[in-house]
Amino acid sequence: MILSDGHPYRIKSVPPDLIGMSEKEEFAIVCPSCEKGTLDVRSTLYSIPFFNELAMFSMKCPSCNFGHTDVFSAEQRKPARFTLEVNDSALLRARVVRSGSGTIRLPEFGIDVEPGPTAESFITNVEGVLTRTMSVVETAINFADEPEEKARGAEILENMNRALEGEFSFSLIMEDPMGVSGIILDDMSRVKYEELSHEEASTLKGAPFWIDAIREDFKERKG
């Protein structure tokens, strides 16, 4: 089941140890929704283990109220894959960073969540990734036409609920051609980190082009 992350995953809260300084940035980016207004962009810097420093952008169009978020690193990072075998309920609390170019894979559930045109970023934990994905599966079940599809969706939800109770082991894989998405633990030996080849990275969906424009502008300012 491949899910295009076109619906918003909004950042409702950030762990207090990550809170950084927020500042309004001036970017001449036309709103991708109404194509009339210019986005108001605020960036907040967060100090995160392994990534050092990440910038979180919060964007809003004053004309149509379109909103979006993204996470980006001013540092040049290599395309990467993070894999965590979640076989202990304590690992549900492992921190997860997902940028607008990040792909989420949950192979035991047969689910890939790929970036869509309005894919948003989030900083959450493994449990949060599951609950977000469950809402997408529920929507897919409601729109399914075939009884077999609905039954398969119900089976996935049952296993995800078992996983939240620590009764079902699964793998969480984060892939990002920009190297910004990842899984963070105090003991990083539990996380498998791999640099992706150019060929592997080229098969992944990236962020929307207008997000790339903001990222490039930010990198030039901080560079």
Rg (CA), the chain: 18
Q: Is 81 helix (H, G, I), strand (E, B) or coil?
A: strand
Q: Tens digit of pLDDT for each residue in 46-89? A: 777 777 678 787 888 999 998 888 887 767 789 999 999 999 99
**Higher pLDDT pick, 96 / 68:** 96
**Higher pLDDT pick, 155 / 4:** 155
Q: Tens digit of pLDDT for each residue in 126-185? A: 999 999 999 989 999 999 999 999 999 999 999 999 999 999 999 999 999 989 899 999
Are the CB atoms for 44 and 15 separated by under 8 Å?
A: no
Q: Where are the beta strands (DSSP E) in 138-204?
A: 170-176, 182-184, 191-195
Name the architecture of domain 2-222. Answer: Sandwich (2.60)
Are the CB atoms for 174 and 104 separated by under 8 Å?
A: yes
Are the CB atoms for 83 and 192 separated by under 8 Å?
A: yes
Over residues 101-123, mean pLDDT? 87
Closest alpha carbon to 35 in 66, 12, 9: 66
* Cβ atoms < 10 Å from Cβ of 8: 13
| Residue carrying the six token digits 């969706």 | 153
Are the CB atoms for 100 and 215 separated by under 8 Å?
A: no
Q: What is the pTM of this model?
A: 0.78
**Rounded to whole angstroms, how far apart are CA atoms 118 and 191?**
28
Are the CB atoms for 211 and 218 separated by under 8 Å?
A: no
Structure tokens at 208: 């929307």
**Higher pLDDT pick, 202 / 26:** 202
Closest alpha carbon to 137 in 114, 109, 164: 109
Q: Tens digit of pLDDT for each residue in 11-59? A: 333 444 444 444 555 566 788 889 888 888 887 877 777 776 787 878 8
Phi/psi at 94 (5° precision): -60, 140
The pLDDT, as a whole number, for residue 14 is: 42
Q: Is 112 helix (H, G, I), strand (E, B) or coil?
A: strand
Task: Let me know the angle formed at the C-alpha of 170 by 129 and 186, rounded to the nearest 5 degrees.
Answer: 65
Q: What share of the chain is helix, strand, coil (3-state, %, to 5)?
A: 30, 35, 35
